Amino acid sequence: MAQSLKSHIVIPARLHSTRLPEKLLLSETGKPVIQHTYESAAQATKPDGVLVATDHQSILTVVQGFGGHAVMTDPDAPSGTDRVAEAAATIPDADIIVNVQGDEPDISATAIDLAIELLESNPDAVMSTLATPIRSRGKLDDPSCVKVVVDSNNAAMYFSRSTIPHPREWSDELLERDPPVFLQHVGLYAYRREFLLQLSKLPQSTIETVENLEQLRVLSLGYAISVGVINEPAIGIDTQADYDEFVSQYRNR
């Protein structure tokens, strides 16, 4: 029987980004990207609240300006996960911390709730994440599209930038199967809080450094990651074209 656990969303929000400078503050829709993400995440029913963990006063000011909650974190934090962990240390009553990327303004509230439910119903898992079916050969072959394979209990077996599972003989029919053969990892994570606070102290594994995928550290140490399958991927804003597409869709709603 699933237990009910207290949960909280943390959105790591760096000011500077390589491909699209200060993207979280872009506001052609009338709202900055970080506000869209915050408001979408706040629609989830299970978490007790949303907190932005930022490295810059400008984002802190913007979030507080629209009535959101934010904290300053170490500007030199090595990763978003470390930033989330730093913020999680200020939320002692949370059992689960959900990491929602700041550049995903259309994040699904039901996806967030599912990630939490996975940890409530799988006591052996220290983390949960999501995946969505891959239905195109181009996406399957793209190394920037991270793939995941799961076992019969929907626990992650491996994450890779390569095609996994790798067909010995290719057939387009493989892309059409249901349940799907190929799954794209969706970068939303829920962590048991105590595990998150220890994660950055765990040693990196060879496969983590080769693939440059932090979740492989967890698997290589023998911990379980539960995976939920959703029908829509959360699409992040990485480039100007991504943002232009978001603005266009927003105006047409």
Write out pLDDT tens, residues 155-206. 999 999 999 999 999 999 999 999 999 999 998 999 999 999 999 899 999 9
**Nearest Cα to Cα of residue 117 among 183, 44, 52:** 44
Q: Report in angstroms the alpha-carbon separations of 190 from 11, 117, 196.
A: 12, 10, 9
How does pLDDT run across 234-249, given as a tens digit for each residue?
778 989 999 999 999 9
User: Does 252 map to a domain?
Assistant: no
pLDDT value at position 183? 98
- As for how many domains the chain has, the answer is 1
pLDDT of residue 1: 60
Residue 27 maps to a domain: yes
d(CA 182, CA 225) in angstroms, rounded, equals: 18
Comparing 94-98, 133-137, 142-146, 229-233, which segment has the lowest mean pLDDT?
Answer: 229-233
Per-residue pLDDT reduced to its tens digit, 9-40: 999 999 998 889 999 999 999 999 999 999 99
Residue 94 forms part of a structural domain = yes
* Average confidence score pLDDT of the chain: 95
Structural domain for 91, as ranges: 7-235
Indicate whether 253 belongs to any domain. Answer: no
Decide if pLDDT at 56 tops 90: yes
What's the half-sphere exposure (Cβ side, CA atoms, 13 Å) at 97? 29
Question: CATH code at 133?
Answer: 3.90.550.10
Tokens of 74: 């170490």
